[in-house]
Chains A and B, each alone.
Chain A
């Protein structure tokens, strides 16, 4: 029931905004409706914690036949934290957005914020992969529509196609996975994810998150930096994270060699992205790398046989991430607020991410562990760096905005704290001291070096003070080119052009003057093939 209230109230709110605005336009009223709607859903989501697990069947396809399927929603400890996180982001985005005066902020933005949240919740709360595939499709189409409204620029249109292509292929992978997992029984839940289909499920999530292959499905349009933009970029990852969290622990029994390949790819993606995160100029430029690094952490957890540990990295991606990205304008006086976002992913004992080390660091300490600890440290360092760089002194803020803006950030912080306490049984844990303390040590070392450099990442400054920088930079650029996949895109284009010519030639033969005779020849050949075997 509460589940329906949460979803219903979001969609209803969105509808009311559209209707009332078309009747008598008033942006403030629209914001208020959106705010009330989001708050009701947000509070209800906390109440939901008392009723876990809880389910709601929506539809049954072909009941009574062997093709029966069930579409529905389900909340448990795997997806409840994500639901709370996404709703908190919605509330925070609405509160933070009122500081902005750009013309792009209209009633449509408010309505979009809550409807996008509602749609993503449909996917996050899916009871089974089938429901999730449908919810993904809805979300992707709405996202496509919204992005197309943003801009007609040629560059953006090709990026939109790329983004949608990745999304649709991820949905295709999910369908493939469910098809493989189908055992002639209706899908009741995620338990259908047998090990033989799990890799496809992982691939579906990896594609959506931008990890397999390393892609950055992010459009860095100025419009997408606002509240709804942050939601657009971050929330689709949540449902993919839920999918990872549901993967069976027996994933590793499927094909060890294939798993190793995945593991190496994820590791490369994580390390590379964390370095990029650390070295970008602004947090918005670095946002895709934030997502890829933490997504790679989540996938790594699943590959190490601890899919439930992926939760904390997913939550860090959403909560700490949105805390930083919504901190715009970056007001110097309140920069301690986003700094508290570190609690979401620093991984120290009894913080939210403490249980995440279990997924990252396998039982035996090895080279992979070193890389992952290093990656984590880079991530923390980058986060701190962007906050330290916040030195804006905005003076023209409205009175209400002076309250709502920090309040939005506080919403996220308190969600991190609450989830760190009651997110799921066993959330309060020491975690891996080796991992957390090593990472912390590296961070402190990095801060020391940064302090010496004046936290200046300009190429010239670093190369003067750190001689091997040029060599590292060359290697790094090489990796960057390889991982950008531009070479692959060129290769595919060339292959496509060549094949296109071949296909045209083939069509010309079949559709040309002698086409019928060719058809007769084909019939004869196929007849021989049909009659020949065993005779």
Chain B
């Protein structure tokens, strides 16, 4: 039971990432993004002191806030509609995401042993899972908002993985800057698109 509870954030984070990959509802995506960032915190806490482990989720929250405020500004925030039926594209993305995660899970012990023996299995699963889902998101979607989410997911996975390997204040500072800038760029795109549509 304890083991399951320890792994729970990993699965929730991956589920949130999958949700972002599949669904196209801005409000829902922002909520999923927040959940994804928060769920990264417990694995980080296992390897880093509290103050350092907090940096990543805190940055994530800031990023989500920037995107939220931008969407609010352009009138993109609407009530979440959970009854919406899945389209074929959503089904495809969902299936592809699940397939990737299942494949990753199957080969995880070998990857762990051969490349990242110092990182725990759960930690590795979450980080590589986020990387793969982020990659899939980046590779299949052209809309700026979802691309920003894809990049943020990808980077989130990578940061998690790298923090399991080594830690540097300078690198952490730079990555925080990248995340925040990415959110600003995402907002920039959203505003530009809404301006073009209005014109």
Contact = CB atoms under 8 A, between A and B. Distances in A.
Within the complex, are A and B direct neighbours (CB within 8 Å)? yes
Interface of A: 513-517, 520
Contacts of A517: 135-136, 139-140
B138 interface: yes
B142 to A, nearest CB: 6
A513 B135 contact: no
Nearest to A516: B139
A514 B135 contact: no
A510 to B, nearest CB: 12
Contacts of A520: 135, 139
B153 to A, nearest CB: 14
B105 to A, nearest CB: 19
A513 B138 contact: no
Q: Does more than half of chain B's interface fall in helix, strand or loop, or is it mixed?
A: helix
Nearest to B147: A516
**Which of A515, A516, A517, A520 has the largest number of chain B CB atoms within 10 A?**
A516
A514 B135 CA distance: 11
A516 B135 contact: yes
B148 to A, nearest CB: 15
Interface in B113-136: 135-136
Given A514-B140, A515-B139, A517-B140, 13 more contacts: A513-B139, A513-B140, A513-B141, A513-B142, A514-B139, A516-B135, A516-B138, A516-B139, A517-B135, A517-B136, A517-B139, A520-B135, A520-B139
> For this complex, into which size category does the number of interface residues on chain B fall?
under 10
B94 to A, nearest CB: 16
5 contacts: A516-B138, A516-B139, A517-B135, A517-B140, A520-B135
A525 to B, nearest CB: 16
Contacts of A516: 135, 138-139
A522 to B, nearest CB: 13
Nearest to B141: A513
B129 to A, nearest CB: 16
B71 to A, nearest CB: 23
Interface in B94-111: none
A314 to B, nearest CB: 63
A21 to B, nearest CB: 56
A234 to B, nearest CB: 60
Contacts of A515: 139
A55 B3 CA distance: 90
Interface in B131-171: 135-136, 138-142
Contacts of B140: 513-514, 517
A169 B159 CA distance: 53
A195 B43 CA distance: 71
Nearest to A518: B139
Contacts of B139: 513-517, 520
Contacts of B142: 513
Contacts of B138: 516
A516 B138 CA distance: 7
**Which of B135, B139, B140, B141 has the largest number of chain A CB atoms within 10 A?**
B139
A520 B135 CA distance: 9
A514 B140 CA distance: 6
A517 B136 CA distance: 7
Contacts of A514: 139-140
Nearest to A515: B139
A156 B139 CA distance: 49
A515 B140 CA distance: 8
A517 B133 CA distance: 12
Contacts of B141: 513
A279 to B, nearest CB: 65
Contacts of B136: 517
Nearest to B135: A520
A515 B138 CA distance: 10
Contacts of B135: 516-517, 520
A39 B142 CA distance: 72
Ordered nearest first, which 9 A-B pairs have the shortest CB separation?
A517-B139, A516-B139, A516-B138, A514-B139, A513-B142, A513-B140, A520-B135, A514-B140, A520-B139
Nearest to A519: B139
A377 B138 CA distance: 75
B145 to A, nearest CB: 16
B103 to A, nearest CB: 14
B139 to A, nearest CB: 4
B141 to A, nearest CB: 8
